[in-house]
Amino acid sequence: MDIGTRLFRTALLGLAGNRAARAFSERYGMKLGASRFVAGETMDDALQQAKKLNDAGIAVTLDFLGESISSLDEAKTSELGYLDLLQAIDREAIKGNVSLKPTQFGLALDPAYCQESIRSVVREASRLGIFVRLDMEDSPWTDATIRMVRTLHQEGLTNVGTVIQAYLYRSGQDVKELTREKMNLRLVKGAYKEPASIAFPSKKEVDNNMRRLIRARLDSKVYTAIATHDESMIRWVKSYTKSHRIPRSAFEFQMLYGIRTPLQESLAREGYTVRSYVPFGQSWYPYFVRRLAERPANVGFIAKSLFKR
Ligand code: FAD
């Protein structure tokens, strides 16, 4: 990554956490171009998109957006929102599960409350046969997130799992331990701004570590979601699993809603399990800005689409 791109990315990720910019943008609505990456502001919008994806052979994981809240009332709203979502997935026979962010359940405000609130969602999901993924946020929350999924797993709630980010130095050890515990993991490169003291600074090192983590998980055959749009990595996974006779039932590919849709469809046609991460809700701003930061060319794309309106 050249220095200009790196600075641009850092500035965008700084904006993701800016409260004033967030309030302004969310009031302004989806017109900023967020609808390319966000299924809509309501659950019905998301269910409609989920059905379309299911019809194309693609499973979904639904994310009711709303990270970094500032009161436990908001945490309660998230919990109720997810409980509604689980009922809707069941009622509408959606081929899908849910992803949630621990800070949306109050992790930064009251960790015990957060754990209890997530437990109630995971229990209800278990009753309905639905899987719950705890997304991984920035590094202040890594330990607490892993601790929560571990606790729930040990309580017998095996319908829960989390995410490991290849950019963190610690991830090899985390994967080793969680694989021993048969935890369902999603592997990603990592979307937040982290210092070089804890995260690989270069893309090449992150990619190399991602491959190491993927290989460790595939060899273990503990169910793994490989979440990337990186076509060369996807090609490598296809050839590695073929040559090592790793069954397709041991892993799935995941991609984000609105990104590389033809690739998602073609993998599904080839018979791979593919899951699209479908976010919805009014609190779409930080999610949207992280998508821009991943690919600065998106900023140009969004700007062009604004002028076309
Ligand atoms: P890259 O090397 O960044 O990209 C490969 C190619 O994919 C690019 O050249 C480009 O063509 C395309 N691409 C990548 N990003 C975009 C984009 N935004 N817009 C358009 N094209 C793009 N991160 C976390 O930290 N925690 C999580 O819990 C988490 N969950 C995720 C769940 C899913 C299903 C996915 C797919 C990603 C998730 N991420 C999460 C984000 C992840 O960490 C990366 O930031 C993101 O996936 C981009 O990396 P990449 O693997 O696609 O590879």
What CATH number did the domain enclosing 183 receive? 3.20.20.220
Instruction: Give the count of beta carbons closer than 10 Å to the beta carbon of residue 211.
Output: 16
Tokens of residue 48, six digits: 């409609």
For residue 27, tell me if it sits in a domain. no
Q: 90-127, pLDDT tens digit by residue?
A: 999 999 999 999 999 999 999 999 999 999 999 999 99
Q: How far apart are the CA of 198 and the centre of ligand 1, in A?
A: 20
Catalytic entry in 22, 133, 186, 275: 186
Contact between 68 and 110 (Cβ < 8 Å): no
Q: What is the pLDDT of residue 286?
A: 86
Q: 59-70, pLDDT tens digit by residue?
A: 999 999 987 799
For residue 50, tell me if it sits in a domain. no
Question: Per DSSP, what are the bridge partners of residue 165?
Answer: 188
Q: Is 127 noted as a catalytic residue in this protein?
A: no
Q: How far apart are the CA of 256 and the centre of ligand 1, in A?
A: 7
CA distance 137 to 101: 7
Q: 181-221, pLDDT tens digit by residue?
A: 999 999 999 999 999 999 999 999 999 999 999 999 999 99
Domain count, the chain: 1
For residue 36, tell me if it sits in a domain. no
CB distance 210 to ligand 1 below 6 Å: no
For residue 49, tell me if it sits in a domain. no
Q: What is the mean pLDDT of the chain?
A: 92
Complex ipTM over 0.90: yes
| Alpha-helix runs per DSSP H in the chain | 3-16, 19-28, 43-55, 72-91, 111-128, 142-154, 171-180, 203-220, 231-243, 261-269, 285-294, 297-308
Q: Is 55 noted as a catalytic residue in this protein?
A: no
217-234: b or e for each residue (b if 16 or more CB lie within 10 Å)? bbebebbbbbbbbeeebb
Contact between 150 and 181 (Cβ < 8 Å): yes
CA distance 294 to 13: 9
For residue 212, tell me if it sits in a domain. yes
For residue 303, tell me if it sits in a domain. no
By residue range, what is the domain housing residue 140? 64-271
- Strand, coil or helix: 113: helix
- Strand, coil or helix: 64: strand
CA distance 79 to 100: 10
